[in-house]
Amino acid sequence: MLLGTGKVCIRGENYFNRGYGREWEMEGCQLEFVHELIEGGKWKNDLLKHWFNVVDVDHITNIPLSLYDRKDRLFWNYSKFGIYTVKTGYVVAKEQSEMMNRRLASDPETSWEIRKHTVWKRLWSLNVKMKLKHFLWRCLQNGMATNKALYKRFGISNKICHCCGKETETIEHIFFFCPKAKVTWKLAPVRWEGFVALQGNLWRWWEAVTQSTKETQGADRIKLTVNLLWQIWKARNKLAFQSELVDAKVIIDKAQQEWIEYEAVYESDTRTNSNLEMERQVQQR
């Protein structure tokens, strides 16, 4: 807004408080028009401070005043002639977005929150069974009942891995470092060899994996990976609770089979829904 004559009703237009979430009501105040707050081309600061709080005074005094007597008009501060254009609006929005991104990037805590949000968003948007999404979510939250977790939380169980009988059983050990897991990944059609250095931290490893979506067959490789992790965990449980050793080849075959079956069902449902939608549109014509 650019003020000229200031012949705008303060109360009727909610002139100064638009967007601040409250009405301007001052008991005993006789002010009616904006021009009563202006003198000699300047704001009457004493009067403003008497009737408005500090925040409102700051907003009011930042409203530009015209250098001569003219009608009040809307004024866009980000263009040469005070007129809004899509181009100037885009430039301002882009600058503000870049400023916000720089601020967030410089804040480690906020940056970490953004990374977490991205990981969860990518996880829940995966085209895999819901139980697999929930399983991986629990893994990333350190919510699985590994021997180390049970020992740490309840003081029960043995921390040593059921399979190798040598190392402490963590979720990372089960998935990557146990000899059985190493054989499984060696035989699997998807290996993620470029992320071996991250295997000591499942969160960092999975974050790197999900960033490969746009690579050749990236989405399919990620979906098969989730099924592999699920079958490795199931094989671990069979050994722990049924003393049944599952061969690495069987783990891989089951992971591939469940993935392919789910893909087939999903594609079939998608085609059915698409046909129904087309029929509905034809009937409405």
Q: Whole-angstrom distance between the N-terminal and C-terminal Cα of the chain?
A: 49
Provide the residue ranges of all domains of the chain, joining segments of one domain with +: 1-75, 126-280
The pair of structure tokens assigned to 205 is: 């490893």
pLDDT at residue 197, rounded to an integer: 92
Report which residue type is found at 139: C
Claim: this prediction has a pTM higher than 0.85: no
What 3-state DSSP class applies to 127?
A: coil
Is residue 169 within 8 Å of residue 148, measured between CB atoms?
yes
pLDDT at residue 19, rounded to an integer: 40
Q: Mean pLDDT for each consecutive 10-residue tract of the chain (285 residues)?
A: 55 48 57 78 83 80 67 69 83 83 63 85 93 97 93 86 94 96 94 91 94 80 96 96 95 95 82 64 62
List C-alpha distances in Å: 252 to 161, 191, 216: 21, 12, 21
β-pairing, 42-43 vs 38-39, is antiparallel
Report which residue type is found at 103: R
At residue 27, φ and ψ (nearest 5 deg) are -65, 130
pLDDT at residue 9, rounded to an integer: 62
Which residue's structure tokens are 């005043």?
65
What 3-state DSSP class applies to 243?
A: coil
